[in-house]
């Protein structure tokens, strides 16, 4: 048995995810203690895009790992930068939740049923770009906050709908509040969405061994392809990116099918490409598709700033929902 201090953000979603991992480790015979850590992303009221991107949620927890204050960290995988952190290793990527986005709308409406002029909230440039490209005549407004805050925008009438990650609602037991699961044909998820990363120090062989039993090979292959694509685009494209890899049966065994999106937040540019490659070479597949997107115009795309204020008559709670 190994005694493990597991670091987690304090939010309800992060704690739920970390508790799930802790319970799996306890089932494997380990003693696990949860250690709460506050990150910059938790205390800032600014939009994620203005305070340094997804890495703001991982930095404080990674410092705690490197300093030896905790032994294991659990992240939403899409919150991790694609560049490896020296001294740390993602020892396990457990089986993935459903990676799709969901709509939570007034009156049980779906995207297609929202009247023209409806106001839809999201804190994600990726979602903004793909929703705008659908040409539904809706207004998209940037928001932040936890699940209660975001759904509160709808129940209070401040917004007609919000778009969230299905995985977050599922882990919190609130899937019944979603009015539609959005097809990836319309909106591709973020690379790694729905997956968890269990990280530890690379020099702790005992911890790596304890955690690695949670690794799911299919999930690992899919997210490796998605994150390789993201890494390839980050070198030459600052546009919003969506990606989804799936394990499929090919003529000679298992393969990976990877779909990707890059575009502009106003919906004027909507690049979608796909590629199939060997199951055993996910990083190669992701890099190849990134090059295709860059060659087809993604290299010329730049980040644009979402317009419109965040509604101010619902109490703000600075937590990022996966």
Q: Summarize pLDDT for 126-165 with one digit per residue, the tens.
A: 999 999 999 999 999 999 888 999 999 999 999 999 999 9
Of the candidates 232, 231, 261, 260, which has an alpha carbon nearest to the alpha carbon of residue 245? 260
156-197 tens-digit pLDDT: 999 999 999 999 999 999 999 999 999 999 999 999 999 999
- What pLDDT score was predicted for residue 252? 86
Token digits of residue 89: 């290793």
Report the distance separating Cα 313 and Cα 306, nearest Å.
20
- pLDDT, position 195: 98
Average pLDDT, the chain: 89
- Determine the 3-state secondary structure of 148 from DSSP: helix
Interval 64-91 mean pLDDT: 94
The strands making up 3-8's β-sheet, listed across from edge to edge, are: 31-36, 3-8, 72-76, 196-201, 88-92
Percent of the chain with pLDDT over 90: 79
CB atoms within 10 A of CB 257: 17
- Confidence at residue 320, expressed as pLDDT on a 0 to 100 scale: 41
Domains in the chain, start-ordered, CATH in brackets? 3-94+195-216 (3.40.190.10), 223-300 (3.30.160.40)
Classify 199 as helix, strand or coil. strand
Say yes or no to pLDDT of 52 above 60: no
Task: Read off the pTM.
Answer: 0.88
Nearby residues of 50 by Cβ (< 8 Å), 6 or more positions away = none
| pLDDT > 70 in the chain, percent | 87
Which residues does the annotation mark as catalytic?
79
């Amino acid at each position: 048995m190994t005694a493990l201090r597991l670091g987690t953000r304090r939010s309800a979603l992060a704690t739920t995810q970390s508790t799930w991992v802790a319970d799996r480790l306890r089932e494997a015979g380990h003693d696990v203690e949860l250690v709460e850590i506050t990150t910059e992303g938790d205390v800032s009221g600014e939009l994620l895009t203005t305070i340094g991107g997804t890495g703001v949620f991982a930095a404080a927890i990674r410092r705690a790992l490197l300093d030896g204050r905790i032994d294991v960290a659990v992240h939403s995988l899409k919150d991790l930068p694609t560049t490896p952190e020296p001294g740390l290793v993602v020892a396990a990527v457990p089986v993935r939740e459903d990676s799709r986005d969901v709509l939570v709308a007034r009156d049980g409406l779906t995207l297609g049923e929202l009247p023209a002029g409806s106001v839809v909230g999201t804190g994600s440039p990726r979602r903004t770009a793909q929703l705008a490209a659908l040409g539904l005549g809706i207004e998209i407004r940037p928001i932040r906050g936890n699940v209660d805050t975001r759904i509160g925008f709808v129940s209070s009438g401040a917004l007609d709908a919000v778009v969230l990650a299905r995985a977050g609602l599922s882990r919190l037991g609130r899937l019944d509040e979603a009015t539609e699961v959005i097809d990836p044909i319309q909106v591709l998820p973020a690379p790694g969405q729905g997956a968890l990363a269990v990280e530890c120090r690379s020099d702790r062989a005992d911890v790596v061994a304890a955690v690695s039993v949670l690794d799911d090979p299919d999930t690992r292959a899919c997210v490796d392809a998605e994150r390789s694509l993201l890494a390839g685009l980050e070198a030459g494209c600052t546009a919003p990116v969506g990606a989804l890899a799936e394990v499929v049966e090919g003529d000679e065994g298992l393969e990976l099918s990877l779909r990707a999106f890059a575009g502009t937040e106003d919906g004027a540019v909507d690049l979608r490409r796909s590629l199939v490659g060997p199951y055993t070479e996910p990083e190669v597949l992701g890099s190849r598709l990134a090059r295709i997107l860059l060659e087809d115009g993604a290299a010329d795309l730049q980040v644009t700033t979402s317009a419109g204020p965040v509604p101010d008559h619902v109490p703000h709670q600075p937590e990022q929902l996966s």
